[in-house]
Chains A and B, each alone.
Chain A
Amino acid sequence: MNRDDRQAFERQSVDERVGEAERLDGNAAAGILSEVFVPDLTTARATCANCGTIRALGALLVYAHGMGTVMRCPSCDAVVLRVARTRAQLWLDLTGARLVVMAAAAAPSVA
């Protein structure tokens, strides 16, 4: 990962403005999130680190940019999650989520 990519990813949270990208639902981020997580993250519940609201990720607002996907809290508009794909890497920023709770895959029963 080169320095320009890193700077662009880090700058994005500052520069990203509502209205520049179309506003979609958390569902629209399900594809790229499936590259990172095996469980379906749209049904996982995230606690917004800014306001404490707990919602399914599918209920967050999604802004899809060339650089990546930004998910915002519909209550306070804070960034909850960012995920981006470059040619060789996936970038994930979860600092806006205090907690993410998802359904576990059925565990094998071991006595």
Chain B
Amino acid sequence: MNSAQVPAPARAATITWRLATVAGVVTETPRARTLILDVPGWPGHRAGQHVDVRLTAEDGYQAQRSYSIASAPQDGQLALMVERLDDGEVSPYLTDVLSVGDRLELRGPIGGYFVWDVALGGPLLLVAGGSGIVPLMAMLRHREAALEIADARTRHNVPARLLYSSRRWDDVIYRSELTRLAQDDETLEVALTFTREAPPEWTGFRRRIDRMMLAEVAWPPGERPHVFVCGPTPLVEAAAAALVELGHDPALVKTERFGPTGERG
């Protein structure tokens, strides 16, 4: 082929700010809600990626925060889960004020490191604290959609386990969806732990995630699970350190700290 026939390579796309429209709002817990967004020109994402959201005040002051994408790449619309922080600069607007038809500036998808898809294989171990469930939920939703159309061998190759720490029952985000997913899929196990108050009759874990709990829930390091840990910084650091102590390869333990406030900057 001679070079004159080669079309000029398109300039690689940079991540640009886009105007999204709120298409729906779902209340998840008393403090958290999901924003379902229409984003014209959205290029698609991978499970685990996030977006930056930018708010501009009338005087031009801008505040910017990162939010994990909750929807699977297969879903038609983009879903973000926002937890209200009482002293937050951005989240109270997103949880209390923004409503259907309003517009929102965002850019993304961002970050290719904390991502998983079925092609990467399993086993898949997910460890979440609080709203750290969000990017991991995108992975579970992606996995479910992908396995629906996969053969038996692929299903067998990507078993998943989720260990999810919440303060109390009412704080468990996606509670009914997680219950349904675990019931319908024998290769998915969901373990909850409660750090403040467990429901009555609760027979599961009732403490912060620790090494013993991870040893009980996780596959042996020899199985080389892909591990994703997301939540408040202290939880992420404790869980990641315990997993490495248990013998998991640090290169397979990927972390996403939300910071002490839960609102990433």
A residues with CB within 8 A of B: 22-28, 30-31, 34, 38-40, 42-43, 56-59, 64, 105, 107-111
16 CB-based A-B contacts, threshold 8 Å: A22-B260, A22-B261, A23-B257, A25-B257, A27-B50, A27-B110, A27-B256, A30-B112, A30-B113, A38-B12, A58-B113, A107-B9, A108-B9, A109-B1, A110-B6, A111-B2
Contact A57 B259 (CB under 8 A): no
A8 to B256, CA, bound (A): 29
**Which residue in chain B gives the minimum CB-CB distance to A26?**
B113
Q: Which residues of A contact B238 (CB under 8 A)?
A: none
Q: By DSSP majority rule, is chain B's interface helix, strand, loop, or mixed?
A: loop
Q: By DSSP majority rule, is chain A's interface helix, strand, loop, or mixed?
A: mixed
Contact B114 A40 (CB under 8 A): no
Interchain nearest-CB distance for A43 vs B (Å):
5
**Which residue in chain A gives the minimum CB-CB distance to B3?**
A110
Q: Which residues of B contact A30 (CB under 8 A)?
A: 50, 110-113
Q: Which residues of A contact B264 (CB under 8 A)?
A: 24, 28
* Contact A111 B1, CB 8 Å, known A28-B265, A64-B265: yes
Chain B 244-261, CB within 8 Å of chain A: the 1/0 string? Answer: 000000000011111111
A23 to B233, CA, bound (A): 7
Q: How many residues on chain B are close to A (CB under 8 Å)?
A: 31
Contact A24 B12 (CB under 8 A): no
**Which residue in chain B gives the minimum CB-CB distance to A24?**
B257
Chain B 1-18, CB within 8 Å of chain A: the 1/0 string? Answer: 111001101001111000
Candidates A23, A25, A108; contact of B256 at CB < 8 Å: A25
Candidates A23, A57, A110, A111; contact of B113 at CB < 8 Å: A57
A27 to B132, CA, bound (A): 14
